[in-house]
Structure 1
Amino acid sequence: MRWFLSLPLHFQIAAAGVAVLFVALAIKKMLKLLFLLIILVVVIALVYPLFNY
């Protein structure tokens, strides 16, 4: 961590920005997958009774 703090400030800011960007993209992907999963569960819940009768 100390070597990171000894880097020039603009490098630190750039590295933090890249890290935030990666985290944001990962969260966005996760949310997308979660959204698709919820839709899938809802569709199954709606369609399943139709096949049961």
Structure 2
Amino acid sequence: MTPDPLAPVAPPSLAQRPARRMARLPLGWALLLLAAVAAAVAGVLAIGLAEVL
């Protein structure tokens, strides 16, 4: 019973919706999101280093 390889593929219209949303996102929100992700990664790395040392 092998799964159908065509089953999980989404239509192109559904695949393009997130890209369009990201393109419409203002630069300020994009930078804020990037800063939040960077802060989260830095926090995880700091906790990891604190546990190792």
The answer to which structure, 1 or 2, has the higher relative contact order (CA under 8 A, 6+ apart) is 1
With the length of structure 1 as denominator, give the TM-score of the two structures.
0.60
Query: Residue 6 of structure 1 corresponds to which residue in structure 2?
Result: 24
CA distance in 2, matches of 1:34, 1:18: 24
Cα RMSD after superposing both structures: 1.1
Supply the distance in 2 between the matched residues of 1:5 and 1:31 (Cα, whole angstroms): 36
Unaligned stretches of 5+ residues in structure 2: 1-17
Bigger share in helix: 1
Runs of 4+ in 1 over 2 A off after TM superposition: none
Q: Size of the alignment, in residue pairs?
A: 35
TM-score by length of 2: 0.60
Gaps of 5+ in 1: 36-53
How many percent identity over aligned positions? 17
1:26 to 11, 21, 44: 44
